[in-house]
Amino acid sequence: MAADVTTDQTDGASGPAPGTQRPGGRTARTRASVLEAALAELVEHGYADTRIDRIADRAGVAATTVYRRWGSLENIVVDLADHLAVSISLGAAATLEEDLRAVARAVVALHGDPAHRAWLRAMVSAAAGSAKAQGALADVLAHRRELTSVAVAEALARGEVPSGTDPHEVIRATVAPLYLRMYITGEPVGEPEADRAAAAAALAARAGLYVTGTG
């Protein structure tokens, strides 16, 4: 089954950004232009070689405007998290493994999107050297785990996994082998890796390995 995953490259999905004059106003439009330009530059040049002045050129604004608003490339990359909001809809699967397969395939599908891949690479690169970027990346991934933890909640309700199973641990186990390949070793990922990761996480969850705390 294919995962229903969409990248929502619009502005304001999570409310007006700081500094927005009004929805759709000039400041909001500038923000959207700069973020789109930053994404295009990241895809073309990668994080290490992306320059704020080229982002400003591409967005048609003064570099000083970009520096005043964001201060650094790292802050732009962090701001892109809201801009690239992802929604993942899990179908009414009959088993945990089926739902986790949808989650794993969604992760692989997002990695196949050049803009999303370039942005996540930038986040991983920035996170390795900055507590702020690492916190932002952790928030993005925690939010995605929250979106997908319904799969585990349903498995709990069905009695498929033992009471006290930690949904976040199940999702972490599902996505970890994919993130290792995508953003650390750079090895290829596809549906076989996604399905294998989902099967392993479902098996371990059913065996009670993700029961944590006193739950």
One of 4, 49, 53, 146 touching a second copy (CB under 8 A): 49
Closest contact distance (angstroms) between CB of 91 and a second copy is 23
One of 163, 185, 188, 215 touching a second copy (CB under 8 A): 185
User: Any idea what DSSP says for residue 149?
Assistant: T
Q: Which of residues 148-167 bind a second copy (CB under 8 A)?
A: none
Closest contact distance (angstroms) between CB of 62 and a second copy is 26
Find the distance separating the first CA and the last CA of the chain, reported in whole Å.
32
Residue 117, phi-psi category: left (phi > 0), alpha (psi -120 to 50), beta (remainder): alpha
Q: Which of residues 96-125 bind a second copy (CB under 8 A)?
A: 121-122, 124-125
Q: Would the CA dihedral through 87, 84, 144, 109 be positive or negative?
A: positive
One of 138, 164, 190, 191 touching a second copy (CB under 8 A): 138
CB within 8 Å of 96: residues ≥ 6 apart: 151, 152, 154, 155, 160, 161, 170, 202, 205, 206
Site for a second copy, rule CB under 8 A: 46-49, 121-122, 124-131, 134-135, 137-138, 141-142, 169, 172-173, 175-177, 179-181, 183-187, 196-197, 199-201, 203-204, 207, 209-210
